[in-house]
């Protein structure tokens, strides 16, 4: 089975579709033969992935917009403590949900939408802060994220960039390196050491651009994994898992996008 740089798509159970990479997996449980006995058991389609991903994105947008308006108001009123508190709580809950869904391999509408809602709150607090500092940056970040998503979808569909095992390994390595860099930078910052890796200087901007590029290629691998799930004839419920995987990448992409745009436009 193919692997993805996105943790949500690693170690997926494999399906019984003839000739597919998921041969041998029964979506309702191990050992029983897979049969399509109703709407819940029918194979997933592109429309399933599109609709469920759209629902996840819509949920994140709704909670994000409401939170951003609230956060900006709180910052203007001088009560920033509640904003940072909400940010930290949402970050921890989102991380917990992501780990649970990824490692338990949960294809659940409730969990995917809950994750999207919580991440909307997390990104909303950040958006409210940046919007206060750089008015208009939120819309720019949303448009930028959408353009990257569409561009990578076109790249994948046209075959301009082939998703090969070598590319997967490169993206996985780059993503792990990016995660390690952020963790080390955070630990050093807590110790009072400023590296400039995530600052507003030239180095910070270069790192931001690199991270956006890695997130873009993660989207490419996520599209390929969702496509493989469809080709394997996995149950339509797994479209929620595909939607979750795409959301994890979009959350990171938007975060890097708004951060970079704010840095470029700040005085």
pLDDT in tens, 113-134: 999 999 999 999 999 999 999 9
Q: Give me the mean pLDDT over the 216-239 stretch.
A: 93
Backbone φ, ψ for residue 201 (5° rounding): -80, 180
Query: How far does Cα 226 stand from its chain's mean position?
Result: 14
Pinpoint the alpha helices (H) of the chain: 46-76, 80-104, 109-133, 137-158, 165-190, 202-231, 239-265
pLDDT value for 201: 85
Q: Would you say 15 and 23 are in contact if contact means Cβ atoms under 8 Å apart?
A: yes
Could you tell me which of 131, 109, 116 has the C-alpha nearest to residue 58? 116
pLDDT value for 196: 80
Query: For residue 13, is pLDDT > 90?
Result: no
Flag the least confident range among 4-8, 131-135, 166-170, 174-178.
4-8
Structure tokens at 114: 């809950």
CA distance 9 to 209: 24
pLDDT value for 39: 54
Query: For residue 10, is pLDDT > 80?
Result: no
pLDDT value for 21: 33
Query: What is residue 220's three-state secondary structure?
Result: helix
Mean pLDDT, all residues of the chain = 85
Q: What is the pLDDT of residues 70-107, one digit of tens each?
A: 999 998 888 888 999 999 999 999 999 999 998 988 88
How many CA within 13 A on the CB side of residue 157? 7
């Amino acid at each position: 089975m193919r692997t993805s740089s996105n943790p949500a798509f690693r170690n997926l159970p494999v399906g019984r579709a003839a000739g597919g990479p998921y041969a041998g997996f029964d979506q309702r449980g191990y050992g029983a033969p897979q049969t399509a006995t109703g709407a819940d058991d029918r194979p997933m389609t592109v429309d399933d992935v599109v609709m469920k991903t759209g629902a996840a994105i819509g949920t994140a947008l709704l909670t994000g917009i409401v939170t951003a308006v609230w956060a900006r108001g709180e910052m203007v009123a001088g009560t920033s403590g509640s904003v940072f508190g909400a940010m930290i709580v949402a970050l921890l809950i989102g991380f917990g949900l992501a780990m649970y869904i990824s490692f338990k391999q949960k294809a659940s509408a409730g969990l995917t939408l809950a994750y999207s809602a919580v991440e909307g709150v997390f990104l909303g607090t950040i958006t409210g802060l940046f919007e206060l500092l750089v008015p208009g940056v939120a819309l720019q970040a949303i448009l930028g994220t959408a353009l990257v998503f569409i561009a990578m979808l076109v790249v994948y569909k046209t075959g301009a960039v082939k998703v090969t095992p070598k590319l997967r390994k490169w993206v996985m390595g780059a993503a792990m390196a990016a995660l390690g860099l952020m963790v080390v930078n955070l630990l050093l910052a807590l110790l009072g050491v400023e590296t400039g890796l995530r600052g507003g200087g030239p180095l910070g901007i270069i790192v931001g651009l690199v991270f956006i590029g890695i997130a873009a290629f993660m989207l490419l691998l996520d599209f390929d994994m969702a496509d493989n799930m469809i080709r394997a004839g996995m149950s339509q419920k797994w479209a929620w898992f595909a939607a979750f995987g795409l959301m994890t990448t979009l959350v990171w992409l938007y975060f890097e996008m708004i951060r970079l745009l704010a840095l470029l436009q700040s005085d």
